[in-house]
Chains A and B, each alone.
Chain A
Amino acid sequence: MKTAVPVYINMAASVDAASLKELNLASVIRNPNALRRMCRLVRMGVAAGMMCLEDMGEDGPDAIITATSLGGLEDTGKFLAEITERNECGLNPTPFMRSVFNTVGSQIALLKGIKVYNMTYVHRGLSFESALFDAVLQIAEGKRTVLAGAFDEITPEAHILKQRAGLFRHGEKEGEGAGFFLIGNRPAGNRSACLSGLDVRRGPLDENQKKEFAADFLSGFGLDLSCVSVFNGDRVKKTCGEYGTASARVLHEAFASVHACSSEYLLVCNSFRNMSHSLILLKKADAGL
């Protein structure tokens, strides 16, 4: 989709397991009663989201859109285990409550008292892209700022299952983390980048088909591969690892590098286990619309 109105990424924040430990969480999530009930995944997600909102003041965004491919796996596993161990009697409701996919989005709303549009996408390797797509749609509908982001976690159980499925045999590195973005209808500061377009494909593609996809996508903007810099998501995933919403981390890195690249445009390419693919076109914001 080519964005019908100008859309900007104005802020990005990522939190992973390592940075979560270094964060002074109490200063990011300033409600101790809410914080104590958050598990690791929710802490990563809410922290990344709140970091994007830090400079917003009282107003808050016009929409909160979150995404996760697998949601709260640790709590899902905990509750499943309790069902068996305690034979369906006297179960703790907290893991069940936290395993609901919209927990991060609703916690951010609750912490900041943000009563606006609140949505959660759970579509495998395209969950984050769905959230980003909705954010662009929101701006096209007249909203000014949208918080959009994604989160996923590693658990020991999921690790075993991935191992059994042979995912690590092909060199996949396991990953997790949260990435959030503040998206707006106008640039805010000199770090902003223009989000010019976004498209996805489901199903496997070979190298030729991937090139075709990129060429088709770019032709919609009157561009071809020779006039854009290409940002390959696999490069980032060597560090952050692979997970359903790793594309949020990839977009963060691409966003951070857009002003340093030689072309006006940066084409961000993502593939998730060759099951789904996405292309995001970023443009330097100060280069005009």
Chain B
Amino acid sequence: MTLYLNFLKPITDKMESQTENNRVYMENLNENLKKQLIEALNLEDITPADIDDNMPLFGETGLGLDSIDALEIILILERNYGIKVEKPKEGKEIFYSISTIADYIRKNTK
């Protein structure tokens, strides 16, 4: 019963704290994305500080990622943010930089 009561009462708190968590998470979105990218893509010698928010992730001028990495980024969005990118083609613009990915996540998260 306690469980039940506890469950009933804090539900608004919980929602608030969830939103709060989400807010903090979203504020640190760029940093989190960088960490997730480094881990998923096994970018051994790179730290979040090495990745500028606006630097191109793909191609020779930036981080040098390629189409297989794009598939991994799609998984990051799916597994961590519940966002589905159905067509790899759409990824081209969305995954241009950390900033563009973060924008896309904000637009697609309620």
Residues of A within 8 A of B (CB): 32-33, 35-37, 90, 92-94, 97
Contacts and interface: CB of A to CB of B under 8 A. Distances in A.
B78 interface: yes
B47 to A, nearest CB: 14
A93 B71 contact: yes
A25 to B, nearest CB: 10
Contacts, number: 24
Given A36-B41, A36-B43, A36-B44, A93 B68 contact: yes
Contacts of A93: 68, 71-72
Interface residues of B, number: 14
B75 A92 contact: yes
Nearest to B78: A90
B42 interface: yes
A190 to B, nearest CB: 39
A159 B4 CA distance: 49
From A33, A35, A97, residue with most partner B Cβ within 10 Å: A33
Interface string B29-63: 00000000000011111000000000000000000
A32 B64 CA distance: 10
A91 to B, nearest CB: 8
Contacts of A37: 41-42, 68
Given A90-B78, A90-B79, A32 B72 contact: no
Contacts of B79: 90
Given A33-B64, A94-B72, A97-B68, 18 more contacts: A32-B44, A32-B45, A33-B65, A33-B66, A35-B44, A36-B41, A36-B42, A36-B43, A36-B44, A37-B41, A37-B42, A90-B75, A90-B78, A90-B79, A92-B72, A92-B75, A93-B68, A93-B72
Contacts of B45: 32
Nearest to B77: A90
Interface in B59-106: 64-66, 68, 71-72, 75, 78-79
A97 B67 CA distance: 13
Nearest to B44: A36
19 contacts: A32-B44, A32-B45, A33-B64, A33-B65, A35-B44, A36-B41, A36-B43, A36-B44, A37-B41, A37-B42, A37-B68, A90-B75, A90-B79, A92-B75, A93-B68, A93-B71, A94-B68, A94-B72, A97-B68
6 tightest A-B contacts by CB?
Answer: A36-B42, A90-B78, A93-B71, A33-B64, A36-B44, A92-B75
Contacts of A35: 44
B36 to A, nearest CB: 13
Contacts of B42: 36-37
A142 B44 CA distance: 43
Contacts of A97: 68
B77 to A, nearest CB: 10
Nearest to A39: B42
Nearest to B74: A90
A197 to B, nearest CB: 43
Nearest to B84: A90
A267 to B, nearest CB: 45
Contacts of A92: 72, 75
A1 B79 CA distance: 55
Nearest to B66: A33
A107 to B, nearest CB: 13
Contacts of B78: 90
Nearest to A93: B71
A42 to B, nearest CB: 12
A97 B44 CA distance: 20
A11 B65 CA distance: 34
Contacts of A36: 41-44
